[in-house]
Chains A and B, each alone.
Chain A
Amino acid sequence: MSDIAIELRGIDKSFGPVHANKHIDLVVKKGTIHGIIGENGAGKSTLMSILYGFYQADHGEILIDGKVLTIKDPNAAIASGIGMVHQHFMLVDNFTVLENVMLGAEDSPVLNASISRARVELKRLEREYALEVNPDALIQELPVGLQQRVEILKALYRKADILILDEPTGVLTPPEADHLFRILEQLKNQGKTIILITHKLREIMAVTDEVSVMRRGEMVATRETDKTSVEELAELMVGRRVLLRVEKGEARPGDVKLSVRNLTVRDTRGVTMVDDVSFDIRAGEIVGIAGVAGNGQSELLEAIAGIRRAAGGTVDLNGSKVDVTGLADPADLRTRGLAHVPEDRHHVGLVLKFEESENAILGYHRDPAYKKGPLLDIAAMRADAEANIARYDIRPPNPRLKTANFSGGNQQKIVLAREMERNPDVLIIGQPTRGVDVGAIEFIHKRIIEMRDQGKAVLLVSVELDEIRALSDRILVMFAGRVVGERDADADEGDLGLLMAGVENRMEAAQ
């Protein structure tokens, strides 16, 4: 018996051109809580999916309890004592707690015996770990925190010694999260090994014994938690990148063009995604929203664009009210001077099966410029598309080519051209350079600055902190649905990193 629970050696995994895990080494000691931290897309989830048998690594080996194992499917992972609490719960909503716990771990073809054993076992787990939950309650009637508890019970019921939790606090309220941490503490004291994946520094500092930092598919460092600091971790996480510089002059802000007051948005489950957010954007300035993905930025953008209904608050566009809580109509907002570059160009901003020229009018297809009698003016559409292609250097320069056949950068230019070339007053942009090649990034950044200099009010959302810092005149940081701070463009990177990780000021972090 070694005191090492898990050892990963040289794990490597690619999805097509994306190199998600680059030669990862990791050692997790028995009976500890080991944090894995990193920005979105750093490769944390992929690594854990390999450990849980969802994917096979291209290279490398996994050692559990000192023995090399091949984990070819979740069954093998379960058999070797690994349990996983997924970010999106893997529960059957209209099943009871008991049924969910049993599913896949039944003892015999007829359930009676399994049910009584599960009942007894749940009672025992409840006593041992203070994991109270009514075994006969339906999942859909339980609050999110209890649903997560069921996920933990599922793993324990399968006699998991190693528990992986993937972003477990994303859906929890702060008191629920604190409760979870007490449970994890308890599990650790009982000898379980816990791997906690998160992007929140506060959590790492609060509960882990050791922490490993991932960045862009690589494992960059492992530290003992009490011998490191939030500042060091934030820097390791973000890295010392080549500073992104974009030529830009002083902003000359004019009148308020977009005014958001107390905006609140809930998702279909009723979880608050945007919490009482207020800000103004003036003509001729770029306001950037920084934050780790999933902290409400997407919902904020969608609510302003009229795609998602808000639960409360007001939005004024050009001084007149937008019915964000009712039936705001994206088509109507466009005619009122709002342009929107959505975060997801594949599913929202473009119809990939359309010709380029057809996508060049998406959302503006009711514009009289494209009307010829009862028909669409195809010639006018193509002429506009040709003009955009020339101005934005979209390649290949063929307005009749299917959009799916353009590269990511050129697809993004198609969207940008469509939204920018109509002289909007307010431009809201989500993830302008996600999946875009380096050459196009520079071009896109220049265009965004030009828009500002032409007196447009620009709202920019990006998970790339560099991009936010390079382009914005003011930076708002969102965390857990709230705007937790506002900084100038030349704000310190570490300071922003702490805000993004939910640490409101350094004093708190130091405690």
Chain B
Amino acid sequence: MSNPYAKLPGWAEYGLIPLINLVVAFLMAGLVVLLVGESPLEAAYHLINGAFGRGEYIGFTLYYATTFIFTGLAVAVASHAGLFNIGGEGQAYVGGIGVALVCLWLDRLMPWYVVFPLAILGSAAFGAMWAFLPGWLQAKRGSHIVITTIMFNFIASSLMVYLLTRVLKPLGSMAPQTRTFEAGGQLPKLDWLLGIFGLDIGNAPFNVSFLLALLAAFGCWLLIWRTRLGYEMRVMGHSPSAARYAGIKDARITIIAMMISGALCGMMALNPIMGEQFRMQLDFVQGAGFVGIAVALMGRSHPVGIIPAAILFGMLYQGGAEISFEMPTISRDMIVIIQGLVILFAGALENMFRPAISRIFASAASRGSAAAATKGA
């Protein structure tokens, strides 16, 4: 009774099921393409070509993927502790303030390699701070984390508008953005990395924060599976009653897990602000906090799954731009549909295909053992 579905082999659990969910999501998206009178196959061609056809495209794909690795890890870390952090958007916004403050302060005084570590700290600290309150409210006052983080998204976006129109905007400028950073606030590109493979990065803003994202992914893996804190988070996420038995303080873990999650979301801001625009603009997050939910669900909350899932969404963002260029009726909002479908099928409907697949595996297994039995006899 405790396990309603038969056990699946690891590769089916972590490979086949996500793949089926993804395929179904893409088939549904293909239907939308048909509905607007275009060819799904052509769209798929432009998508792939637009994402990987040239060095520059690959650079863009990886640039977007960098952002999504951060937000995907953030959602995953919280979910290991049994928390659903839907506030990545707001935490990334506030993290951006941390980055902008460090850059505005030091970009003319220090080289990037001095500014960057400080900006990392700034982004993480600000993002963590924005996640602290919902975490604290959940742990100490019992307010539902999903609702508070949604509310905090809106509060953050109001705060952002206020800061960029009133405080951080240079005098005399009309646009709601900070001044452009000097050399110290600009991250070097990773053109040499793609150069190894003989690819030319062109104008793509693929930058060193990608390496930081990979590092963060490794760090998250260490945290979740190799530290006592991660261990306690996982116990709490799987079984709150076992956590109480083991003497794990759930209030403490809730707050810490949310702060780590917020810090990761905050670090996302480094990529667009220091890596692409060299200033903080109003809408720099562009829904990345929400993409993180899809990435984490798709990647099964494991860094090894999150990196390819993030690259997949990077591909959608970059290739989607290419589709909208080649096929004007299909704008980049197509990605949002796919993102929603992935969340639907890999998240809310994750058990829909499982019974059928389990049955196939079970019957295959029994047939296999029956065959073995006859052979043995």
Residue ranges of A at the interface with B (Cβ–Cβ < 8 Å):
15-16, 305-307, 329-334, 340, 342, 344, 346-354, 358, 361-363, 365-366, 370-371, 374-376, 378, 404-405
Contacts and interface: CB of A to CB of B under 8 A. Distances in A.
Given A349-B245, A375-B222, 16 more contacts: A305-B245, A306-B247, A307-B245, A330-B244, A330-B245, A346-B2, A347-B239, A348-B241, A351-B235, A352-B238, A354-B238, A358-B231, A363-B245, A375-B227, A376-B228, A404-B2
B20 interface: no
A347 B227 contact: no
B232 interface: yes
Contacts of A334: 247
A393 B242 CA distance: 24
A17 to B, nearest CB: 10
Contacts of B245: 305, 307, 330, 340, 342, 348-349, 362-363
Contacts of B235: 351, 354, 362
Contact of A347 (B228, B234, B241): B241
29 contacts: A15-B1, A306-B247, A307-B244, A307-B245, A330-B244, A330-B246, A330-B247, A332-B247, A342-B245, A347-B239, A347-B241, A348-B242, A349-B242, A350-B242, A351-B239, A351-B242, A352-B239, A362-B242, A362-B245, A363-B246, A363-B247, A365-B231, A371-B228, A375-B226, A376-B226, A376-B227, A376-B228, A376-B231, A405-B7
A422 to B, nearest CB: 14
Contacts of B242: 347-351, 362
Nearest to A364: B246
B286 interface: no
A290 B354 CA distance: 44
B238 A351 contact: yes
Interface string B1-31: 1110001000000000000000000000000
A349 to B, nearest CB: 7
A331 B222 CA distance: 24
Contacts of A351: 234-235, 238-239, 242
Interface residues of B, number: 21
Contacts of A344: 241
Contacts of A370: 228
A423 to B, nearest CB: 19
A344 B226 CA distance: 27
A480 B7 CA distance: 42
A353 B2 CA distance: 12
Contacts of A331: 246-248
A73 B233 CA distance: 42
Contacts, number: 72
B247 A329 contact: yes
A330 B245 CA distance: 7
Contacts of A349: 242, 245
A346 B238 CA distance: 11
Interface in B229-267: 231-232, 234-235, 238-239, 241-242, 244-248
Nearest to A308: B244
Q: Which secondary structure dominates chain B's binding surface? A: helix
B9 to A, nearest CB: 12
A16 B241 CA distance: 26
B172 to A, nearest CB: 50
A366 B228 CA distance: 7
A164 B1 CA distance: 27
Contacts of A371: 228
Nearest to B7: A405
A354 B234 contact: yes
Contacts of B7: 405
B239 to A, nearest CB: 5
A331 B246 CA distance: 6
A108 B70 CA distance: 57
A381 to B, nearest CB: 10
Contacts of A366: 228
Contacts of A16: 1
Of the candidates A334, A342, A347, the one having the most CB atoms from chain B within 10 angstroms of its own CB is A347
A361 B232 CA distance: 11
A16 B4 CA distance: 11
A378 B239 contact: no
A340 B242 CA distance: 12
Contacts of A352: 2, 238-239
Contacts of B226: 375-376, 378
Contacts of B3: 404
A152 to B, nearest CB: 31
A16 B244 CA distance: 31
A365 B241 contact: no
Contacts of B247: 306, 329-334, 363
B227 A362 contact: no
B201 to A, nearest CB: 36
Contacts of B1: 15-16
B246 A362 contact: yes
Interface in B104-148: none
B226 to A, nearest CB: 5
Contacts of B234: 351, 354
A365 B247 CA distance: 10
A376 B3 CA distance: 30
Interface string B324-353: 000000000000000000000000000000
A365 B228 contact: yes
Contacts of A340: 245
A374 B231 CA distance: 13
A336 to B, nearest CB: 12
B238 A353 contact: yes
Contacts of A375: 222, 226-227
Contacts of B227: 374-376
A101 to B, nearest CB: 32
Contacts of B2: 346, 352, 404
A354 B239 CA distance: 11
A204 to B, nearest CB: 31
A344 B244 CA distance: 13
A351 B7 CA distance: 17
